[in-house]
Amino acid sequence: MTEKKLPLPAEELKAFAERVGTPFHIYDGRAIRRNAEIMMDAFSWSEGFINYFAVKALPNVNILRLLAAEGFGADCSSLPELRLAQEAGITGERIMFSSNDTPDEEFAEAYRLGAVINLDDATHIDSVMRACGRMPRVISFRYNPGPERTGNAIIGNPVEAKYGVRHDQIADCFRRARECGAERFMLHTMVASNELEEDYIVETARMLFSLVDEIHGKTGIRIERVDLGGGIGIPYRPDDAAISFSHLSERIHALYTEMIEQKGYAPLKLSFECGRCITGPYGWLVSGVRHVAHKYKDYAGLDASMADLMRPAMYGAYHHITVLGKEDLPHDRTYDVTGSLCENNDKFAVDRPLPVLERGDILAIHDTGAHGHAMGFNYNAKLRHAEYLIEDSGIYRIRRNETYEDYIRTQLDRPEKVI
């Protein structure tokens, strides 16, 4: 069981919402910092351990700065994410650049910044050399185990995944990279998303440790770092249990001793690139009830929409909802909690037991601190909403509401003739 907490007493959060206007996302910086410290402490036995925070989970420079101060790096997958990392003071090999069908100019910029470039395919060796003018000295490959692993519900079956190098290709990729001038080698995988089974993450470590041995046997190459990817889950539902970083770390340490140290591959650095389990539980989308409508079902229409949080509509994901000030009332009504988009699946919850709702109630939708605001969009010309950060010294606005002027900025009032 996981208690669904608010970042402030309900009355204070409600008063804040009434003061600044809904909807908005709010993050608890104090809790994020504590959580980052717990992760770093848990893996302190592993020299050079780093979590490259997945920028895509919460791409706000203020959050990246906070995490950088805790020793985190950044996992970037686009040019703007590389810029954000730089803005946050995360530089050089503290940046992991995981390529996704990457354009040459992004490889070139990642190389210029001294980031670790993580290649997704054997053919990307030529691309990176063309883009950078040489093979980077340090190079990483993303591994796809194919039928060796099952994947999980969100990330899917590895055989169907567009990502990563096949098992029969991986040793050759490292060999070829060395022939082209690479001198230091890292190995990466990402085979889970929102995974709450500790065993699955431990098995990922086992898979990579065994591959370190296999690659060495086939090529003589010693892997310097393995990156176990992101994908550690969070308890979205009150009856889910969180993964404990310290317990996970103990189990990985035992495997490391057996498969790395005792076989002479130490020191091997470890990393994750977790986003969700770092910031996810410490974000809330706060939104007001605009209409309560009684149709064939009862609907509570919010001032937020799936443009603010698309996980429920996209994956049917559960996000817990607290009605501020009504926590202790009986949850004896059933609502579909809907957004304001002209899309029938714009729903934050379906058939959710809640206390009786009325216009003006304020709801906190939990666990929106990762892949929440970040996945937002402008369909229906919805303007994107503000983000706030709670610190000991006060509550800070870290992104303002988008305005019509922001939205229209890229449209050309006078069409430019192209041909």
Binding site for ligand PLP (CB under 6 A): 54, 56-57, 75, 98, 190, 193-194, 229-232, 273-276, 370
Nearer to ligand PLP, 313 or 370 (CB): 370
CB of 276 to ligand PLP, least distance (A): 4
Q: Which is nearer to ligand PLP, 151 or 229 (CB)?
A: 229
- Determine contact, residues 376/23, Cβ cutoff 8 Å: no
- Residue with smallest beta-carbon separation from ligand PLP: 230
For residue 52, give the H/E element and its range.
Answer: strand 50-54
Considering the complex, state which of residue 16 and residue 284 has its C-beta at the smaller distance from ligand PLP.
Answer: 284
Shortest Å, Cβ 28 to ligand PLP = 17
C-beta separation of 401 from 304 below 8 A: no
What DSSP designation does 382 have? P
Phi, psi of 116 (to 5 degrees): -75, 125
Least distance to ligand PLP from the beta carbon of 317, Å?
Answer: 12
Amino acid at residue number 67: L
Contacts of 349 (CB under 8 A, 6+ apart): 312, 318, 319, 321, 335, 336, 337
Residue number with CB closer to ligand PLP (276 or 384): 276
Instruction: Bin 71: left if φ > 0, else alpha if -120 < ψ < 50, else beta.
Output: left
Smaller CB separation from ligand PLP, 196 or 221: 196
Q: Which is nearer to ligand PLP, 39 or 68 (CB)?
A: 39
The residue count for the chain: 419
The CB-of-223 to ligand PLP minimum distance in angstroms stands at: 18
Integer-rounded Cα radius of gyration of the chain: 23
C-alpha distances out from residue 396 to 94, 101, 146, 388, Å: 27, 37, 45, 5
Nearer to ligand PLP, 90 or 302 (CB): 90
Amino acid (1-letter code) at residue 104: D
CB of 275 to ligand PLP, least distance (A): 3
Q: Shortest gap between Cβ of 392 and ligand PLP (angstroms)?
A: 26
Do residues 388 and 400 lie in contact, with contact meaning Cβ atoms separated by under 8 Å? no
Nearest approach, Cβ of residue 279 and ligand PLP (Å) = 9
Which CB, 35 or 193, lies closer to ligand PLP?
193
Helix (H) or strand (E) holding 170: helix 167-179
Least distance CB 299 / ligand PLP (angstroms): 31
Unique residue bearing structure tokens 């666990």: 367
Pairing of strands 138-143, 184-189: parallel
Question: Is the preceding omega at residue 355 within 30 degrees of 0, hence cis?
Answer: no
When the beta carbons of 241 and 266 are compared against ligand PLP, the nearer one is: 241
Two structure tokens written together for 30: 């104090």
Counting Cβ atoms within 10 Å, is residue 92 exposed (0-12), middle (13-18) or buried (19+)? exposed
Give me the least distance between CB of 289 and ligand PLP, in Å please.
Answer: 30
Rounded Cα gap, residues 74 and 283, in angstroms: 19
